[in-house]
Amino acid sequence: MKVTEHFQKAKGKTLISFEVLPPLKGGSMQAIFNTLDALMEFKPPFIDVTYHREEFIYKKRPSGYYEKTAIRKRPGTVGICAAIMHRYGVDAVPHLICGGFSVDETENALIDLNFLGINNVLALRGDARQFEDKFVAEEHGHKYALDLVKQIQDINEGRYLDQTIQNGEPTDFCIGVAGYPEKHFESPNLATDLHYTKAKVDAGADYIVTQMFFDNQKYFDYVAECRAAGIDVPIVAGLKPLTRRYQLNSIPRKFFINIPEDLVREVMKAKDDAAVQQIGIEWCIEQSKALKKAGVPCLHLYTMGDTETSRKIASAV
Ligand code: FAD
């Protein structure tokens, strides 16, 4: 079933979904099953699986020179999605990014998903590789998520890259895209960011999932700005609890978001990380309850492999 059909079926009730990361290469699928086994009691309508492009690493050679090698540390997104659907009968949403893919490779990936019966996808640009200061598209690859959405919409209408294909089988992907209540870090301002987000929706995106936020007002203001800009699709609230003190700095650095003063003050007073985790969970529960009361279509928990924290939040909500 499509993500948007889940929203329709819920008839205004707030859903709760989870996002998991593929294990590090060499790791076991059991780790994902352990996480999800513990979360199935909350009946998530869908589960997202992130995509991680290759990174460059530099290996020192005997000559003293460094050799640049590309490695993918967390492969397996598509396989994990298929395994989730098979084991739990729950819809899986693979993240598909522009980075590292030529348009032909993207088309082939979409064909694989379609043949596996996966008809949901979160279309993203991806970030710059480690040690690169800006996102660089693959040769013959997409520069923006907008172009990826257009390609998915094309294949949904039976238009494949090879224009000699007559009567190509249309796919039926439900397309999600990312949105940023505190604006995307490369955007000069929120209005410009919303302009491009609207372009993704106009091109065929069916819903938006937000970047994490710790201040609900940012989400409510964002939804209001989206509606004013003519973006009328459901906006899923992305949430992640703070669990370690160092995240006061690492989260803003990595995700370009603010952490409210009250939360920072509480975390600074905490005697250790166990106390920080408790504060983070309580904060996320309060956020979730208020969002649910406001009628958000879905709370989307970034589990980051932390099953217990996600369980506590989902139980309380
Ligand atoms: P875009 O929509 O392409 O936007 C990128 C920037 O370009 C924005 O500043 C936008 O305003 C601007 N822009 C867009 N279109 C144009 C245009 N035509 N001309 C000029 N400027 C334009 N990353 C991963 O690698 N794997 C994941 O699994 C993953 N999952 C994510 C899930 C969620 C819910 C979110 C919010 C992010 C996720 N990311 C993931 C991170 C994401 O890839 C980065 O935030 C990335 O920097 C931007 O992706 P985007 O799809 O929002 O890009």
Question: How many Å apart are CA 168 and CA 111, to the nearest integer?
Answer: 11
Q: Which residue has the tokens 């007073």?
A: 269
The closest residue, in CA terms, to atom 51 on ligand 1 is 124
Question: How many Å apart are CA 192 and CA 208, to the nearest integer?
Answer: 17
Residue 272: C-alpha distances to residues 199, 268, 279, 297, 311 (Å):
45, 9, 11, 35, 21
For the CA of 179, the closest atom of ligand 1 is 36
147-167 residue pLDDT tens: 999 999 999 999 999 989 989
184-201 residue pLDDT tens: 999 999 999 999 999 999
Q: What is the pLDDT of residue 143?
A: 98
CA of 186 to the centre of ligand 1 (A): 9
Residues with CB under 6 Å of ligand 1 are 50-51, 53, 95, 97, 124-127, 144-146, 178, 184, 186-187, 193, 196, 209, 211, 238
- Contact, 210 vs 181, CB < 8 A? yes
- Burial of residue 80 (CB within 10 Å: 0-12, 13-18, 19+) is buried
Q: What average pLDDT does the segment 107-132 reach?
A: 95
Residue 55: pLDDT above 90?
no
Percent residues over pLDDT 70 in the chain = 100
Choose which residue among 21, 46, 124, 193 to substitute to test ligand 1 binding: the one with the highest number of ligand atoms within 8 A of its C-beta: 124
Q: What is the pLDDT of residue 132?
A: 85
Domains within the chain, CATH numbers bracketed: 3-316 (3.20.20.220)
Q: Which residue has the tokens 């205004």?
A: 12
What is the average pLDDT score of the chain? Answer: 95
For the CA of 77, the closest atom of ligand 1 is 28
For the CA of 99, the closest atom of ligand 1 is 25
275-310 residue pLDDT tens: 999 999 999 999 999 999 999 999 999 988 788 999
CA of 141 to the centre of ligand 1 (A): 15
CA of 185 to the centre of ligand 1 (A): 10
pLDDT tier, 56 (very low <50, low <70, confident <90, very high otherwise): confident
pLDDT tier, 60 (very low <50, low <70, confident <90, very high otherwise): confident
Provide the sign of the torsion angle of the four alpha carbons 250, 258, 224, 198, taken in this order: negative
Among 68-72, 116-120, 170-174, 248-252, where is mean pLDDT lowest?
Answer: 68-72
Residue 62: pLDDT above 90?
no
Q: How many CA atoms lie within 13 A of 271 on its CB side?
A: 0
Q: What is the pLDDT of residue 69?
A: 82
Q: What average pLDDT does the segment 71-75 reach?
A: 90
The count of other CB atoms within 10 Å of the CB of residue 132 is 11
CA of 124 to the centre of ligand 1 (A): 5
Residue 77: its H or E element: helix 77-88
Q: Which residue has the tokens 């989730």?
A: 84
The closest residue, in CA terms, to atom 30 on ligand 1 is 50
CA of 175 to the centre of ligand 1 (A): 14
The closest residue, in CA terms, to atom 28 on ligand 1 is 50
Predicted model pTM? 0.96
Q: And the tokens for 118?
A: 């996966």
Q: And the tokens for 41?
A: 């009691």
- Contact, 148 vs 98, CB < 8 A? yes
Residue 25: pLDDT above 90?
yes
Q: Could you please report the per-residue DSSP string of 126-186?
A: --PPTT-SS--PPTT--SSHHHHHHHHHHHHTT--SSTT--SPPP---EEEEEE-TT--TT
217-258 residue pLDDT tens: 999 999 999 999 999 999 999 999 999 999 999 999 999 999
CA-nearest of 302, 291, 313, 306 to 14 is 291
Sequence-ordered list of residues with C-beta below 8 angstroms from that of 104, at least 6 positions apart, any chain: 140, 161
Question: How many Å apart are CA 209 and CA 227, to the nearest integer?
Answer: 15
